[in-house]
């Protein structure tokens, strides 16, 4: 095995979930091992290292939160928690205890892969390919032209549309990733604003405000579209 292969440990009491994640992530170049409970998790970690753990909260016996608490005594391995929809309290506790991210069940596999890569990039670990955004000078957003070098957006009549620094960074990130769905972590990275909290909805709020400026109908956006369960996409050819 390539010593640069990212090693992922999936801990979930549901066998079908373990097998699904192992198959999907394995096909995408990750080395995946599995554990059915917290005791087996510790056993696997004792036998060999892991670069990231995917840990289910709801397990019989010692649950995922207890396992995370035990793990954080002497390890800072990145952990992504899996939680049933609506379990806000467990999610908050998990983040306070040192989880790096969370994802609700049922798991969207493409989003999980994106979250894994984002967590590993933030931690500076794993053989994660950095996707370099395209270098462009201008981009058309509906009736407006974004000039990246001049850091301004103008309408067809030449008038300038006022933008905040955050709005400009958002537009620049979308322009350089035309046609590609970006999740919140990717937007967070590429907009270079570390004050944003990846676990709250601040990105959604900022995109909503931006839509009110550039969309003809902000309630039915066509320039920056929502891709349910995944994120946002700027795809002018299909608007």
pLDDT band at residue 10 using 50, 70 and 90 as cut-offs = very high
- Look at residue 230 in the predicted model and tell me its pLDDT: 77
- Look at residue 2 in the predicted model and tell me its pLDDT: 43
Cα→Cα distances 138→112, 118, 119, 154, 233, Å: 32, 27, 31, 11, 17
The phi-psi region of residue 237 (left if phi > 0; otherwise alpha if psi is between -120 and 50; otherwise beta) is alpha
Number of neighbours of residue 53 by Cβ within 10 angstroms: 26
- Look at residue 23 in the predicted model and tell me its pLDDT: 94
Strands 231-234 and 7-11 turn out to be unpaired
Q: What is the mean pLDDT of residues 44-60?
A: 90
Average pLDDT score over the chain: 83
- Look at residue 206 in the predicted model and tell me its pLDDT: 86
Ranking 151-165, 182-196, 223-237 by mean pLDDT, the lowest is 182-196
Half-sphere CA count of 221, side-chain side, radius 13 A: 21
- Look at residue 118 in the predicted model and tell me its pLDDT: 85
What kind and span of H or E run contains 81?
Answer: strand 79-84
Ranking 83-87, 220-224, 225-229 by mean pLDDT, the lowest is 83-87
CA 147 to chain centre: 27
Model pTM score = 0.55
pLDDT band at residue 40 using 50, 70 and 90 as cut-offs = very high
- Look at residue 193 in the predicted model and tell me its pLDDT: 54
205 or 26, greater pLDDT: 26
| Torsion angle in degrees (nearest 10) through CA of 59, 62, 64, 68 | -170
- Report the percent of the chain where pLDDT is more than 70: 83
The answer, yes or no, to whether the previous bond of 106 is cis (omega within 30 of 0) is yes
């Amino acid at each position: 095995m390539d010593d640069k292969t990212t090693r992922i440990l999936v801990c979930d009491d549901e066998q079908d979930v373990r097998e699904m994640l192992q198959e999907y992530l394995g096909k995408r170049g990750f080395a995946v091992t599995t554990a059915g409970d917290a005791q087996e998790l510790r056993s696997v970690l004792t036998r060999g290292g892991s670069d990231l753990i995917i840990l289910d909260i709801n397990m019989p016996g010692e649950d995922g939160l207890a396992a995370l608490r035990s793990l954080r005594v002497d390890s800072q391995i990145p952990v992504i928690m899996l939680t049933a929809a609506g379990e806000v309290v467990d999610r908050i506790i998990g983040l306070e205890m040192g989880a790096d991210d969370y994802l609700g069940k049922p798991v969207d596999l493409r989003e999980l892969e994106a979250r894994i890569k984002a967590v590993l990039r933030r931690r500076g670990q794993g053989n994660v390919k950095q996707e370099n955004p395209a270098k462009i000078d201008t981009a058309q957003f509906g009736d407006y032209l974004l000039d990246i070098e001049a850091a301004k957006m103008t309408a067809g009549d030449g008038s300038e549309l006022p933008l905040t620094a955050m709005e400009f960074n958002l537009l620049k990130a979308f322009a350089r990733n035309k046609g590609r769905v970006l999740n919140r972590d990717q937007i967070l990275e590429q907009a270079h604003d570390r004050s944003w909290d990846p676990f709250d909805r601040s990105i959604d709020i900022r995109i909503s405000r931006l839509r009110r400026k550039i969309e003809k109908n902000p309630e039915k956006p066509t320039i920056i579209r929502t891709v349910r369960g995944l994120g946002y996409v700027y795809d002018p050819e299909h608007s």
